[in-house]
Amino acid sequence: MNKTPGSDRPLLWQVLGAAHALEARLESALSAVGLSLPKIGVLKILADAKEPMPLSELAEHSHCVRSNMTQLVDRLEADGLVRRVSDAGDRRIRRVSLTGSGRKACTEGVRILEAHERQTARTLSQADAAALTEALGRVVS
């Protein structure tokens, strides 16, 4: 039986290596349309929210600190993908909304992610995919 390259490494290193390889592929594909994993993550949260969100709520949904979210929103705003708007009830609060370009970028980014999901799934049998999903769920719980 042939061994898979790297399969002699400890399990944790194999999992981290696989995650790094998948992340690099996704980042490369998204960069072709001017996005990154953090950017598409924020765009998708905003698209799903259907209304502008306060920065603090956006940071919470993204599992990051507000200062990091502020910097990410600054970049998205510079790219013309989001805009900050005043809160109607509290002018101290700034909300973030998608622009038309942001909606298009989100649709394209999600399309790229879904294509990579299908491509990754094709490398495994249905049984292997189910077993991997179940095993990873146990590892992170």
pTM for the whole structure: 0.86
User: Distance between CA atoms of 126 and 118, rounded to whole angstroms?
Assistant: 12
Domains and CATH numbers, the chain: 35-140 (1.10.10.10)
Q: Which residues contact 45 (CB under 8 A, 6 or more apart)?
A: 53, 58, 61, 62
Q: What is the pLDDT of residue 3?
A: 60
Structure-token pair, residue 8: 């002699």
Sheet holding 94-98, edge to edge: 53-54, 94-98, 82-86
Question: pLDDT tens per residue, the chain (141 residues)?
Answer: 456 666 788 999 999 999 999 999 999 999 999 999 999 999 999 999 989 999 999 999 999 999 999 999 999 999 999 999 998 888 888 999 999 999 999 999 999 999 999 999 999 999 999 999 999 999 888
**Rg for the chain (alpha carbons), in Å?**
18
